[in-house]
Amino acid sequence: MASYTIVLLSLFISCFSILLLSLTLSSVLLVSITTAGSFHQHININWGEERAQILESGQLVTLTLDQYSGSGFQSKDEYLFGRIDVQLKLVSGDSAGTVTAFYLSSQGPAHDEIDFEFLGNVSGEPYIVHTNMYTEGHAGREEQFYLWFDPRQDFHTYSIIWNPGRVIWLVDDIPIREYTNHESKGVPYPSRRPMRLYSSIWNADSWATQNGKIKTDWTKAPFTASYRNLKIDACVWESTSSCESEESTNSPPSKPWMKQQLDDGGKMNLQWVRKKYMVYDYCVDYKKFVYGIPLECKLRKMPG
């Protein structure tokens, strides 16, 4: 009996020592976390009051837009690099004029931002997925796509991979866009400012549907989008640290997304999406860029 007690005591001391070491490290380093499950743990409702609801013991979020206000949530933490996944079911029926947004953003006038925006449409017409990138407060890097399914009928997974080398947008784990870091050639890239995760639904009928020709039909309100299975695999920002230490080492990263890039299969899927479903590419908008397309467009290598 005495030996059994000693073994238990030794195990307890070992576990307690590991816990103390973990807590000590997390207090001084940028903490790499993987989180899933309850929305209560990881987000705050930041807009819309009762129009935003956390339901089913934290497993479901609904955001609603009516003629008085939209609604939204934000993550409790800021991140510098990571992978964010969420399952989203978009507004059904006539959603013209509405935008459901899922994005990362820093603060301040020279902010960085990585966007998914879903542009509502009249019943029977497809949603447009609008992606964009802000660096140092400058946007204008829009790409738009149709989807190969009806996003109103069921939940689908939308993901952002953001690492020091690239940003990848994915739908059901299929890449639809890749933006490569060309800072060494003078192209700004979101690599220094921590970002929070945000999501919102709002009225944008000045531009969202057919360039603003179709306005929101408020007789169809309220408009509701639903979220589940939020997964955050990211580095939580702390003011004394950065993610650059892991990038600078030669050892394999503790998080595979930190150096993730498209393999041959991913490049083929990206090419398929862009060939069949792309609606708009800023890199070929010569009316917008009358003095020449942006430098990153010239540097971009398309799969093929």
Cis check for the bond before 109: say yes or no (omega within 30 of 0): no
Q: Would you tell me how many other CB atoms lie within 10 Å of the CB of residue 2?
A: 6
Which residue is associated with the tokens 């807590």? 23
Query: How many whole angstroms separate alpha carbon 304 and alpha carbon 290?
Result: 28
- Among all residues, which ones are annotated catalytic? 113, 117
* Cβ-Cβ contacts under 8 Å for 106 (sequence gap 6 or more): 78, 112, 113, 190, 193, 194, 195, 196
CA 181 to centroid of chain Cα atoms: 17
What's the CA gap between 304 and 301, in Å, rounded? 9
- Give the type of residue at 77: D
Distance CA 259, CA 166 (A): 9
